[in-house]
A and B are shown apart, each in its own frame.
Chain A
Amino acid sequence: MKQGRFLGVFAAGVYAFLHVPLLILCAFSFNRSKFTIWEGFSLEWYRQMFADGQLGEAAWNSLVIALASTVLATAIGTLCAYGLWKKNSKWLSGSLYLSLVTPEIVTGISLLALFQWVFRYWQVQLGMHTVILAHVAFSIAYVLLVVMARLRTAEPALEDAALDLGASEWEAFRLVTLPILKPGIAAAALLAFTVSFDDYVITSLVAGVDSETLPMVLYAMARRGANPVVSAISTVIFLGFGALILLSERMQKNP
């Protein structure tokens, strides 16, 4: 059983590697000292975080963008998954999967190039709308991936039965398949929300002056150097996402 023990110790080491850096970051957000020496418990950095108007505005922007793009991408992506499940369209599914593996920086600069090109003819500027459009564009593929996985386990005969019993195609979708898809759609929405709320690379390229997001502020602060407020924000984001996932697990278990 030597091997089993080796694997156990190894796994414990990997789990420590994955989790300890984040736990340390959270712990030190409660440190009284500005430096990485523990000097006692304090909520000073949280106070500073809540007092920072720019941070609040950025968090609000991130929330608005994430909610808007989640709703749009989830609706569009679910309809797309259903349509492709009925009959695949190679160019569409191929393009969407390709967009999933496209490096973020390439997606970002190509969207920036598009917006700049369009703006030469239309008098519009980069802002919340361009960020939301970009986020919907890259989230659709994530939604497709999750909803498609759920559809693969669905039974096409159920819809056929509904059609035989006189339902219209729309009714068959709405009353038979859509309810089956609910947990998948919820998971997809959660994923879309996370990737949108988290995105820095694409957002920073297509954002305007009025649409600074939380990751953009966080990035600027992180680059400037050690700052316990960043640890505090990180902890809040960490706990926020944790709560969101727990909530969604609950909802999927007892719908």
Chain B
Amino acid sequence: MNRLRALFLAPSAAFTVVLFLAPMAIIVGYSFMTRGVYGGVTGPWTVENYQRLFDPLYGVILWRSLVMSTLATALCLLIAFPLALFIARAEEKRKNIYLYLVILPFWTSFLVRTYAWMFLLRDSGLINSVLLSLHVIQKPLPLLYNETAVVVGLVYGYLPFAVLPLYSNLERMDKNLLEAAADLGATQWETIRRVVLPLCAPGMRAAGVLVFIPCLGAYLTPDLLGGGKSIMIGNLIQNQFTTARDWPFGAAISLALMALVMVLLLALLRRDGEEAL
């Protein structure tokens, strides 16, 4: 068996080593180097790139990314929980359709979904056009290119990531507990607050991490909906590797982002085990 298995694993192992682990190793190396005069990387070895992460100039962007990702995650959970509850309580044959409707936009291009919001929110967009023609407003509202637009885009983009784990958590829940709560005189709201929500904690944690991670690393959403003013970590990294041509600093930010992602995932896995995801 072992020979066949080794043969089967060889291509994926090769791809993983050459196109994932090696590039990451290069990034680790670069993050300790110095920016060259023409944008390349040179010696000497230094930890200065990591110290610069705490420079207020960049700290603002890192902090903004954390705040916006937290906000988007909280909104996703707030929206996803009632929706997951609705699907879990629906008739058996309808459940699949309801779930399908959650995932369906996800199969469309991310770029298209983001553009749909640009189309709605821009100065000459649908919302402003309608409000202007109804004379509700005299000049277009600045809906696009701000932090609110970015958070809306993030919620829109990653909502399915929150619905699915919450739904599977609710599906696995022992329905007898709900009946017991009702028998003991709890109202429906009390049952949700004191029985369903506590039992949903693992689903909430999984959903939270699954939404927070892509939000934190988001690039397209802040780029297209936030304009230049609301950039996040992802845009900062891209900028270092293109316009600013400061690869060592870009590498250091990338690794800080990776570290955050891994800490979150490991914390979740340690807490809830592998089936959490």
Contact = CB atoms under 8 A, between A and B. Distances in A.
A125 interface: no
Nearest to A144: B12
Nearest to B163: A14
Interface in A150-167: none
A170 B124 CA distance: 62
Nearest to B219: A105
Given A3-B188, A234-B112, A245-B107, A111 B159 contact: no
B89 A7 contact: yes
B202 interface: no
B105 A109 contact: no
Given A101-B213, A105-B217, A245-B107, A14 B9 contact: no
Interface stretch (A20-28, A43-51, A53-61): A20-28
B124 to A, nearest CB: 6
A142 interface: no
Contact of B109 (A87, A96, A198): A198
A83 B190 CA distance: 49
A80 B12 contact: yes
Interface string B2-13: 001110110111
Contact of B111 (A77, A136, A198): A198
B86 A238 contact: no
A98 B265 CA distance: 10
Interface in A200-249: 200-201, 205, 215, 218-219, 222-223, 225-226, 230-231, 234, 237-238, 241-242, 245
A219 B224 CA distance: 9
B2 to A, nearest CB: 8
Interface string A78-91: 01101110110100
B112 A114 contact: no
A189 to B, nearest CB: 14
A80 B19 contact: no
Chain A CB within 10 Å — which of B102, B115, B238, B265 has the most?
A: B115
B234 A21 contact: no
**Contact size class for B?**
35 or more
A214 B6 CA distance: 38
B109 A136 contact: no
A124 interface: no
Interface stretch (B43-51, B54-62, B253-261): B253-261
Given A22-B112, A22-B113, A10 B82 contact: yes
Interface residues of A, number: 80
Most buried by B among A4, A105, A137, A241: A105
Contacts of B126: 24, 28, 36
Contacts of B178: none
B136 interface: no
Contacts of A140: 12, 15-16
B137 interface: no
A112 interface: yes
Contacts of B159: 14, 18
Given A3-B189, A231-B119, A106 B111 contact: no
A222 B167 CA distance: 35
Nearest to B213: A101
A11 B80 CA distance: 9
Interface of B: 1, 4-6, 8-9, 11-13, 15-16, 19-24, 26-27, 30, 79, 82-83, 85-87, 89, 98, 101-102, 104-105, 107-120, 122, 124-126, 129, 133, 156, 159, 188-189, 192, 213-214, 216-220, 224, 234, 237-238, 241, 247, 250-251, 254, 257-258, 261-262, 265
21 contacts: A3-B192, A8-B86, A18-B105, A22-B108, A25-B115, A37-B133, A87-B5, A92-B9, A102-B258, A103-B213, A103-B214, A103-B217, A103-B218, A104-B217, A106-B27, A109-B250, A110-B27, A144-B12, A218-B115, A234-B109, A237-B109
Q: Kindly list the 3 A-B residue pairs having the minimum CB-CB distance in the complex, ordered from nearest.
A: A103-B217, A110-B23, A80-B12
